[in-house]
Structure 1
Amino acid sequence: MLETPICDAYIRITRTADHLLVYEDFFITDHYGKSIKIPLYTETAQEKEASPYLLYQVEISKKGHAKLIIQNIAIFANVTAILSMLLPPYRKDEAILSISLKEPHFSSKSHEVAIDPKGGIDAMLQEVIIPTSITVHLGRPNRDGENLTVPFLYYLKNVASSEIYPTWPREAIKANVWAQMSLALNRVFTEWYRSQGYNFDITNSTAYDQAFVKNRVIYDNVAEIVEEVFQEYIQKKNFTEPFYAEYCDGKIAQCPGMKQWGTQDLATRGYDALSILQYYYGDTIRIVSSDTIQDIRPSYPGTPLQLGSVGKDVAMLQAFLNAIAINYPAIRPIFPVNGEFETATQSAVRTFQRQFNLTVDGIVGRTTWYRISFIFVAVRKLAELGSLGYLSTLYSGVWQQRVLRQGDRSVETQLMQYYLSSIRLFYPEIPEVSIDGRFGAGTYNAILAFQKRFGLTADGLVGQATWDRIYQVYTSISNQLPPTNAPLPYPGIPLQLGTSGDAVEAVQNAINKLAKQYTDIPSVNVDGIFGAATRNAIRNFQSLFDLTADGIVGVKTWELLFSIAAQLQANTADTAILQHQLNMIAKYYPSVDSVPVSGVFDEATQASLTDFQTLMGLPLKEGTDALTIDVLDSCFHELSS
């Protein structure tokens, strides 16, 4: 088939082995660009060791166009080979274009690619898409080569025609196509190459990805199967990402994944395509489909995430950081994962940036976003055969269908520890646990205590019954939990000029909370470094609250600083609610002035509150009292309904 129909072109076909001329004539394409079918002789060998094809060379010429010579075209018995060609205009320097296709082969690669956390960066899309097109780099990723952007459907037909024989049983071909589809979608889902700065999505190097041959013939039976299963891919149960379906030929190379020659053998023994895949990849895989067909779009939100940001991108960021914290315990897990970029998230981001030599500003710009995503892919092994999985439903409280036990290290254990820590505030008989994702003796004892307290089998295992009960108890008390942005425990040594780290960062955040209410305390830059500005702010705080003004944060200064900061945070939340209620009432009662929802109880808030007290005939008092709050709540809820 010609991409641009050309009539009366001259075609010449010779057999590669003996250069025998087998066809020579002018041919005419129809208005679809299709030529007539040309019958060619080929082998019919049935043995697996034989090569069931013959190689041919096609020569095409037309006045005004360069002559095109394509070598090593494999022709199989009873299979139609479709060759797409485009004759370029004639140029003196390119009067003859010769293209040599690779002889049909099988991948001798293992797709496991080691991830070096010090190397490139990676990213993660939020959903599995079927791309409308894909850009293929011809060669190894770090070598110069042409980039071809082709329709994704054509890409799959090309890969399948390049990787396997079209004479294989239908179920063997289908199993291989599913594996090829899944591998390609995994590269797209993880933005494997794009996020490392490359301008392509996948390579045709079988050492890294899978075969793709420019200008190759497409076999009609292979194309038919690709079209049948297009939009379908392999996924492990309970995982979000397309399964990284590692495979190799099984003869020249061995790998822990699927063996291409083995699929042919299994198919002849009566296995269907799914059974073949489960034979190699296990019973937990399934075939799923996606109706989302769209262009590939970058996962970076487009604008930096920082204090005050909210939404699903922040929730994804928090989930990524929590998973990374399992392997990098200096990063404090963020709970709850609520999509709100608060100080706990900022602190975790800063620690991550410090850990991986990025600019420490607590802001998630493009560089930080892709590095976080890369490390997440690394620790969860999403681009490997042994993936730990992207558990998109984890923070919904749903049991992840895996029993947790002593010795485990996982994000499921980490979340369970957070639930237990919250429950312990109301059930003190449950021992304290560390939220570190490691199922050690402390977590085991806490699980035993929980199971005894709530009438479960006390075996120290977290199966579905125990998980569901833990989540049920947690949700029943979650609205009574104190603010989650609790400070770090006292680090054990005084903080002073020259000190740095998370503890200093926490002190600086607390100083800035106080600075909003106490004008004598200056705000400071939150950089985790105890400089002169931080020392001066601490001195002012100590003088204001009758402590020794030495500019050093010892135990007494630490405890008082965070106690007042926590109280101000609670008061800020209460004041913000009050201001919101006054604004609702002001919509219906013009005598009550509206106020900015700032969380600061200022003169405007007091004036509006006095307006409300006057309207309702309440005693005029500065600040709030129980009677005013009760009437305000009642009025607000009545108007809201």
Structure 2
Amino acid sequence: MLEEIIIPTSITVHLGRPSSPAENLTVDFIYYLKNVASSEIYPTWPYEALRANIWCQMSLVLNRVYTEWYRSRGYNFDITNSTAFDQAFVKGRNIFDSVSRIVDEVIGQYLQRPFYREPYYAEYCDGKIATCPGLKQWGTLDLANRGYDSMRIVRYYYGDTILLRESDNVQPITSSYPGYPLEIGSFGQPVFIIQELLNGIAVNYPNIPLIYPPDGIFGSVTESAVETFQRQFNLLVDGVVGRSTWNMLSRIYVAVRKLAELGSLGRLEGYFTGLWTGKVLRRGDVGIEVQQLQYFLSIVAEEYESIPAVTVDSRFGAGLERSVRAFQREFGLVQDGLVGESTWNTIYEVYESLI
């Protein structure tokens, strides 16, 4: 995965299904988007319908670029033109003027969920020949004719929390791999990234040791987590994160967090910064947010005898609920065992004061 959302200068399209021996074509990104829009929607549709569709097309391809969906699998392209996998692109086709004008207007605009770092995987289909749980292209025509604007059309299909973002971060697509192996003694942002990915994957593969606190230092716990991951996914078990392990970490993280699905669990904005993610945590929850809560509260519990000790295991069980209620009692909060914004922020503030 990339560390930032980019608007590519160019993109390489595979003219067929991913595994087919088809041509790869590298084109300017803005031409790519105009080609897709001209191939998938009618230029006579209302402006609001066209714009809503183009936002979705933009978001889907940016998601493919951000997640390195094909590159991390060893392919030498960024997206296909197969609508079974991606979106339509026709080599050498004419571009409609009405579509071209709107693409020029909205280039760099994409959809995103609050607190998530990836562009939203805005799945869509025509709604006549094919059906899907996302946006229906023919349905956008009906909604536009009923007076819906583009954002209202998008939210009709994806929910009221969907956001429209804009970026001018135009640059070539480059690999997220830092270019050198990470091992014992390595440090810095690339190490922090693999710690983040391993902790996220460990929610689904609890045999992988959790790395807390994630600190950007490649120590023995990180090495053990890497070795367990390599063993789990049939890689060379050497505790070193070279290109193949890096790519597999990205692929599995994208899969378990569902980053390339409508129901994405998200790559959390501000990972391990204490930023509340907008989700109220409660008994029964499982995930990265629970991990972070457990770690922050475990440090607090070491200093406050009234708060039971906390184990970091990604799962919000009865023991964690007791510790949350005890914390809420200690700090004058509503004792409901739920971790909303107020309880989360107070826990993090107390944690910060202790480290």
| Coarse TM-score class (shorter-chain normalised) | over 0.9
Q: Would you say 1:262 and 2:139 are equivalent positions?
A: yes
Equivalent residue number for residue 364 of structure 1 = 241
Describe the superposition over 1:104-135 as per-residue Cα deviations: whole angstroms up to 9, x where unpaired.
Answer: xxxxxxxxxxxxxxxxxxxx011000000001
Q: For residue 460 of structure 1, what is the amino acid of its counterpart? A: G
Q: CA deviation at 1:394?
A: 2.6
Equivalent residue number for residue 409 of structure 1 = 286
Equivalent residue number for residue 286 of structure 1 = 163
Q: For residue 53 of structure 2, what is the amino acid of its counterpart? A: N
SS in 2 for 1:396: coil
Equivalent residue number for residue 13 of structure 2 = 136
Within a 5 Å distance, the mapping from 1:268-307 to structure 2 comes to 268-307=145-184
Describe the superposition over 1:421-470 as per-residue Cα deviations: whole angstroms up to 9, x where unpaired.
Answer: 11111112212222111111111111111111111111000011100110
Indicate which of 168, 183, 208 corresponds to 1:331. Answer: 208
Describe the superposition over 1:389-433 as per-residue Cα deviations: whole angstroms up to 9, x where unpaired.
Answer: 111313110111110011111111111001111111111221222
Q: For residue 13 of structure 2, what is the amino acid of its counterpart? A: V
Is 1:234–1:285's contact at 8 Å kept on the other side of the alignment? yes
Alignment root-mean-square deviation, CA: 0.9
Describe the superposition over 1:48-107 as per-residue Cα deviations: whole angstroms up to 9, x where unpaired.
Answer: xxxxxxxxxxxxxxxxxxxxxxxxxxxxxxxxxxxxxxxxxxxxxxxxxxxxxxxxxxxx
Q: CA deviation at 1:269?
A: 0.9
SS in 1 for 2:110: strand
SS in 2 for 1:284: coil
SS in 1 for 2:272: helix
Within a 5 Å distance, the mapping from 1:498-513 to structure 2 comes to none
Q: For residue 240 of structure 1, what is the amino acid of its counterpart? A: R
SS in 1 for 2:300: helix
Whole-Å Cα distance in 2 between the matches of residues 339 and 321 of structure 1?
13
Indicate which of 311, 327, 339 corresponds to 1:462. Answer: 339
Whole-Å Cα distance in 1 between the matches of residues 249 and 120 of structure 2?
21
Q: CA deviation at 1:300?
A: 0.5
Whole-Å Cα distance in 2 between the matches of residues 448 and 366 of structure 1?
45
Indicate which of 302, 326, 329 corresponds to 1:425. Answer: 302
Equivalent residue number for residue 277 of structure 2 = 400
Within a 5 Å distance, the mapping from 1:585-604 to structure 2 comes to none
Q: CA deviation at 1:217?
A: 1.0
Whole-Å Cα distance in 1 between the matches of residues 23 and 242 of structure 2?
31
Whole-Å Cα distance in 1 between the matches of residues 299 and 228 of structure 2?
24
Q: Would you say 1:224 and 2:95 are equivalent positions?
A: no
Whole-Å Cα distance in 1 between the matches of residues 210 and 305 of structure 2?
23
Is 1:394–1:400's contact at 8 Å kept on the other side of the alignment? no
Gap regions ≥5 residues in structure 1: 1-123, 479-641
Equivalent residue number for residue 234 of structure 1 = 111
Whole-Å Cα distance in 2 between the matches of residues 249 and 312 of structure 1?
42
SS in 1 for 2:303: coil
**Aligned residues, how many?**
355
Superposition TM-score, scaled by structure 1 size: 0.55
Equivalent residue number for residue 587 of structure 1 = none
Describe the superposition over 1:282-340 as per-residue Cα deviations: whole angstroms up to 9, x where unpaired.
Answer: 11111111111111000101000111111111111111111111111111111112211
Q: Which has the larger radius of gyration?
A: 1
Equivalent residue number for residue 268 of structure 2 = 391
SS in 1 for 2:68: coil
- Larger relative contact order (CA 8 Å, sep ≥ 6): 2
Equivalent residue number for residue 207 of structure 1 = 84
Whole-Å Cα distance in 2 between the matches of residues 315 and 228 of structure 1?
37
Is 2:8–2:171's contact at 8 Å kept on the other side of the alignment? yes
Describe the superposition over 1:112-164 as per-residue Cα deviations: whole angstroms up to 9, x where unpaired.
Answer: xxxxxxxxxxxx01100000000111110111111111000000000000000
Whole-Å Cα distance in 1 between the matches of residues 343 and 271 of structure 2?
16
Describe the superposition over 1:184-237 as per-residue Cα deviations: whole angstroms up to 9, x where unpaired.
Answer: 111111111111111111111010101001111111011000000001111111
Gap regions ≥5 residues in structure 2: none
SS in 1 for 2:95: strand
Q: Would you say 1:176 and 2:53 are equivalent positions?
A: yes
Indicate which of 222, 225, 228 corresponds to 1:351. Answer: 228
Equivalent residue number for residue 340 of structure 1 = 217
Is 2:195–2:222's contact at 8 Å kept on the other side of the alignment? yes
Whole-Å Cα distance in 2 between the matches of residues 198 and 214 of structure 1?
20
SS in 2 for 1:395: coil
Q: Which runs of 4+ in 1 moved over 4 A?
A: none
Superposition TM-score, scaled by structure 2 size: 0.98
Is 1:325–1:436's contact at 8 Å kept on the other side of the alignment? no
Equivalent residue number for residue 451 of structure 1 = 328
SS in 2 for 1:316: helix
